Chains A and B, each alone.
Chain A
Amino acid sequence: MMTFLKIDQLSAFYGKAKALHDISLSVKQGEIIAIVGANGAGKSTLLDSIMGLTKIEGDISLEGKSLIGKTTPEIVQSGVGYAPERFNLFPYMSVYNNLMVGAFTAREDITRNLEIVEKLFPRLKERTNQETHTQSGGERQMVSLGRALMSSPRLLLVDEPTIGLAPKICLEIAVVLRRLRDEFNTTIVITEQNANFAMTLAERLYVLESGSIKIEGLAKDLKNDPQLTEAYFGH
């Protein structure tokens, strides 16, 4: 399988402060990988960087084409969907309208994508007219994922899909992400603080610490890694 997303020697900056140090990683098409790290490790910064939202050095490419110099909307257009940590939903718009904004770059696919989102999240269909500022955390996560899917992404980035959610909803979200990969061959990158959850979903893990990748490997090999066990199975 060819490399779908390739990140090469990536550093990211907030002003003069360096938040990521020479990160290199690659993801194959149809793979699910997880970036595991504690608070402040740089998980969100990494995903923001892929979306062109931070100041970076190094290279990021999708299917061999560099994303450097592209604007965020252009990156969305080239097939990357993003469900960010704090969702960044439009609070006084309905669920339906939030999804429709997500379709801004993929207007021909609206009917098909809306069907997919409603199939994956039946709960959103029932609440299509609810404004998102009145929704629960789990529902917002669903709208956020749904909005990202409305742009017909081939690569989906999800920042901490389970943060603050009840175990039952975590499981639902995991099932949905799995289905997306299995049914639509969507490549998925998630970030997680919870290594347990990461391993149930992802095939490969990268462990991020203070902006650098410390460990990488297949989920099944890392299950018993003492380094990982000690730091990330606190939950």
Chain B
Amino acid sequence: MLEILIQGLLLSGLYALIAVGFTLIFSVGRVLNLAYGSYIMIAGYVYFYFSQLLGLPPIVGLLLAGILGSCMGLLKYNLIVKPLKGDHIPVEISTLILAVILQSAIILYFGNSAKILLPIFQGVIHIGNATVTYNVLAATLVSWLILIVLFVFIRKTHVGRAMQAVSMDSKGASISGVNINKINMFTWGISGFLGAIAGVFFASYTQLSPSMWVAPLIIAIAIVIVGGIGSIIGTLVVAHIIGFMEIISVALISPQLRGVFTMLLVIIVLIIRPKGLFGREEL
């Protein structure tokens, strides 16, 4: 029981971190960013390269991954999203193609086999009969910290409020003196950064492989669909619903069923509450 509670909390924290960057882009930029999984995968490899192959300190690898994630977000916004303004289908198709190309590039350089990422933080801690690695605990704490900072930032600062404003009414934001383009750039940069940080922790939670962009992308989409696109609180709550559902089904039924209940939940919510449990599209 305690084991399930702890594992559930840890996994959910990670899932929330994975989903939040994705939510941000959907709300502010109105783009379903299917490249999001690629930031996660690439970030894992960047970390692997710098901190494991070159032996730089973990924090440096993590930051480099984050910076590269930001750059990828900004590149995508400037090269694909902005030129194809308002035309969602070409944006999404070209993004998916890009994700597959990136996967091939990684295979070319690092090979196709999965790699084990050494834990960013060494050691374990025992809570009751549950064993928790410092690594996973750190992922959860970092995730919570980032979510709290983001939440406060969006509600209490001028730029954060401007992000909300753009997500609710872009003309209204513009005539209030907000530069929509700058806010979009900022959001894409932050989203890429968060995706990358989530990616490093996700890779160390599971393992590193060229196809590891698919699972987190599906998790992000599921959380965002069930939570109601755009709500940070919704993202957090649903990340916990999905995280606990997975842990419980693995522990009590079968590890094979891990993702099945998540998918069922998505389908049920789409049918009965198409706007999600928290139903609205703004931040």
Contacts and interface: CB of A to CB of B under 8 A. Distances in A.
Interface in B175-192: 175-179
Contacts of B171: 53, 84, 88
A72 B174 contact: yes
Nearest to B182: A73
B179 A93 contact: no
A80 B80 CA distance: 33
B155 to A, nearest CB: 8
B282 A101 contact: no
Contact of B176 (A53, A71, A91, A104): A104
B121 to A, nearest CB: 39
Interface in B143-174: 158, 161-162, 164-165, 168-169, 171-174
Contacts of A76: 175-177
Nearest to B175: A82
Most chain B C-beta atoms within 10 Å of own C-beta, residue among A77, A97, A104, A150: A104
Given A92-B282, A100-B158, A77 B172 contact: no
A93 B165 contact: yes
Interface string B230-263: 0000000000000000000000000000000000
Interface of A is mostly: loop
Given A53-B171, A53-B174, A90 B179 contact: no
Nearest to B178: A104
B280 A101 contact: no
A151 B177 CA distance: 8
Contacts of B162: 101, 104
Given A71-B179, A73-B179, A97-B161, A91 B174 contact: no
B259 to A, nearest CB: 32
Nearest to A150: B176
Interface size of B as a range: 10 to 19
A151 B169 contact: no
Interface of B is mostly: helix
Contacts of B179: 71, 73
B181 to A, nearest CB: 8
Contacts of B164: 90, 92-93, 97
A212 B172 CA distance: 27
A104 B177 contact: yes
Interface string A63-107: 000000001110011000010100111111100010011111111
A101 B173 contact: yes
A105 to B, nearest CB: 4
A100 B161 CA distance: 8
A51 interface: yes
Interface string B68-112: 000000000000000000000000000000000000000000000
B169 A73 contact: no
Contacts of A51: 175
A147 interface: yes
A88 B172 contact: yes
Given A93-B161, A97-B161, A88 B175 contact: yes
Interface string A147-183: 1101100000000000000000000000000000000
Nearest to A102: B176
B169 A90 contact: yes
A34 to B, nearest CB: 20
Contacts of A102: 176-177
Contacts of B176: 76, 101-102, 104-105, 147, 150-151
Contact of A88 (B169, B280, B282): B169
A89 B169 contact: yes
A28 to B, nearest CB: 24
A146 B67 CA distance: 40
Interface of B: 158, 161-162, 164-165, 168-169, 171-179, 280, 282
Given A90-B172, A92-B168, 15 more contacts: A72-B175, A82-B175, A84-B171, A88-B169, A89-B169, A89-B172, A90-B165, A90-B173, A91-B169, A93-B164, A93-B168, A101-B172, A101-B173, A104-B158, A105-B177
Identify the 5 closest CB pairs spanning chains A and B, nearest first.
A88-B172, A105-B177, A76-B177, A90-B168, A72-B174
27 contacts: A53-B171, A53-B175, A71-B179, A73-B177, A76-B177, A77-B177, A84-B172, A88-B169, A88-B172, A90-B168, A90-B172, A90-B282, A91-B169, A91-B282, A92-B168, A93-B161, A93-B164, A97-B161, A97-B164, A101-B172, A101-B173, A101-B176, A104-B158, A104-B162, A104-B178, A105-B176, A151-B177
Interface of A: 51, 53, 71-73, 76-77, 82, 84, 87-93, 97, 100-107, 147-148, 150-151
